[in-house]
Structure 1
């Protein structure tokens, strides 16, 4: 196998791993909160958010849609028994900007999910992925803190 994607993960602490990809970049994973990093499952969904978000961003730019920010929040349900796979995944896109056309955002999300995002294509074979979006203006974005998602 030639391995277009290559990485190595090595134990770090009691319940963590440090991984390095062919790109030379590092990431930390922590199942036990030992080293203060995301769990492997959170890393998986971070990849989904990043992949789909990147696609949506590129489509909006290609369509010359001006926007200030893009937030992607994910909520997922997991099976009760091991292996605790995802059983339902919901991606919510928040586009920050004035005069952002909703139909363009909807189309960008659909293109990401149906055509471009390889992470979404893989994960959707295991669990259904639902999407939603909202468009908020700059004033509303200033009132919100995306990190309040965890409250």
Structure 2
């Protein structure tokens, strides 16, 4: 079992700080802060990328970098869980497209946050390959 822990401190307004082992983040609705769904989508992208990277490394397939864009819509009903979430991955200068497509598909199955969100939302993804400077 792997226990994880973060701490948060808020004032009476929606202004606070998330304290995590590797860094802190300001939370709120003002410029320069993160809202709850910003953090959720960021957690999804971070988990998905970490899992994708692990699979790509095991397959010994390289690329230069990956840009991820996470988009989603909340339901109007209460509780207002997510209706759908879409992840778009731009893989820059890939070595083997098919292998990376397979790696990303595996990442969606093995990423715990992707799996968790999929229990309430329709999850979709797309992967696009970008060749910079060619």
The normalised TM-score by structure 2 is: 0.87
Q: Per-residue deviation at 1:114?
A: 1.0
Q: Which has the higher helix share?
A: 1
- The answer to whether the aligner puts 1:114 opposite 2:109 as a matched pair is yes
Partner Cα distance (1:139, 1:38) in 2: 34
| SS at 2:10 equivalent | strand
**Within 5 Å, which residues of 2 pair with 1:130-141?**
130-139=124-133
Partner Cα distance (1:3, 1:17) in 2: 26
Name the CA shift for 1:12/1:97 in 2 (closer, same or farther; >3 Å): farther
2:123 is aligned to: 129
Q: Per-residue deviation at 1:3?
A: 8.4
Cα distance per residue 1:48-67 (max 9 Å; x no partner): 00110111122222222221
Flag as ranges the 4+ runs of structure 1 deviating above 4 A.
none
1:4 is aligned to: 3
2:26 is aligned to: 28
1:92 is aligned to: 88
Partner Cα distance (1:43, 1:91) in 2: 15
Partner Cα distance (2:19, 2:25) in 1: 7
Q: CA RMSD in A?
A: 2.2
User: How many residues get paired?
Assistant: 134
Among 40, 48, 54, the alignment partner of 1:52 is 48
Q: Bigger shift: 101-110 or 41-50?
A: 101-110
User: Contact 2:90–2:130 (CA<8 Å) still a contact in 1?
Assistant: yes
Partner Cα distance (2:46, 2:17) in 1: 20
